[in-house]
Amino acid sequence: MSPLLRRSLNVRILAVGALPSRQMSSLVSAVSAAANSGFRADLFSLWMKAWGISWLVAFPSLLLVLPLVRVIVAAIVQSPQARR
């Protein structure tokens, strides 16, 4: 495998982990901050702090779990080539 291809695969793996973990941790931390503190004037700063902490946990967790999820999905879902 060429170094350029290997690098592009590594970037893809990081992007696949970064994007959903950012979105999900953002949503969950916003709901959690609002539920725990109510709609206060400093809710945005509380949310940003909670989001930063939760993303630091969510991103590496997703990178660790994603290979297992791919194996499980591959075992459950039939590929389009196998249907023919």
The reported pLDDT for the residue numbered 83 is 60
Provide CB contacts within 8 A for 13, sequence distance 6+.
63, 66
Structurally, the chain folds into a number of domains equal to 1
CA distance 32 to 28: 6
Mean pLDDT, the chain cut into blocks of 10 residues (84 residues total) = 60 77 90 91 92 91 87 84 63
Q: Residue 79 has which token pair?
A: 């590929």
The reported pLDDT for the residue numbered 53 is 92
The reported pLDDT for the residue numbered 27 is 92
The reported pLDDT for the residue numbered 7 is 63
| CA distances for 46 relative to 20, 27, 59, angstroms | 21, 13, 20
**0.95 surpassed by pTM:** no
Task: Give the structural domain span for 12.
Answer: 3-83
CA distance 33 to 44: 9
Asked if 47 and 32 count as a contact pair (C-beta separation under 8 A), the reply is no
